[in-house]
Amino acid sequence: MRQLEEEVADVRSRLGYSVRGTAAVNAETLERLGVARFIAKPFKLQTVCALAKFLINALQEEDATPSPSEEALPSGLYTVLLVEDTELNQMVAGAMLEKLGVAMDVAEDGLQALDALRAKYYDLVLMDCQMPNMDGYQATQAIREEQAAFDPHIPVLAMTAHAMQGDKEKCLAAGMDDYLTKPIRYDLLRAALLKWLPKDKRPQAGV
């Protein structure tokens, strides 16, 4: 039980709410711990989809409203390549990008990402670090080698579940431009996109 409490506290500190499921703990215990929703194994796709929608809505309610002083991200101008092998993560990131008005294609590993980038222009790449066949570090190195003669430089933002010291440096050494820790927060994703998406596509003030 203590381990569960510690895990819940960790998730709450990062997301502002908790989701944790296990058949060994009843709903009353989870509610006492502050868990908003839970799912038990074996997972059903319909249940996972419903949970993903709940998570996204909670993030949007908490983080989606910018202050008047914050720059708005224009809708319909950008296309992002999401490189992610987990379906649930694809759904969550995709819903956030849709809310932000950013179009998205999905590649499930580094090899698929390279094929996609050879076939189409993308404004930015969201790159998972741990994937089968070719991981995010290898894929980013290959992207930089292939696009060394190209301009503009395509931003690659790492997405990783690891938050250990040295991880950011490893991402930057591989050629990535920035670093987002999973679970991805809506406000941090929005800020990263505002920072790294090409600014020359955005309408100029007063125009």
The CATH superfamily assigned to 79-197 is: Response regulator (3.40.50.2300)
At 33 the pLDDT is: 61
- The C-alpha angle with vertex 145 and arms to 141 and 146, in degrees rounded to 5, equals 120
The dihedral built from the CA positions of residue 77, 79, 87 and 178, taken in this order, carries a sign that is negative
Spatial separation of the C-alpha atoms in residues 30 and 204, rounded to whole Å = 49
Collapsing DSSP to helix, strand or coil, 152 comes out as coil
Task: Please give the pLDDT value at position 17.
Answer: 38
**Cross-strand partners of 157:** 126, 178
Residue that is written with structure tokens 């060994």 in the block = 24
Question: Range(s) for CATH 3.40.50.2300 in the chain?
Answer: 79-197
Instruction: Give the chain's residues under pLDDT 50.
Output: 1, 4, 7-8, 10-23, 68-69, 207
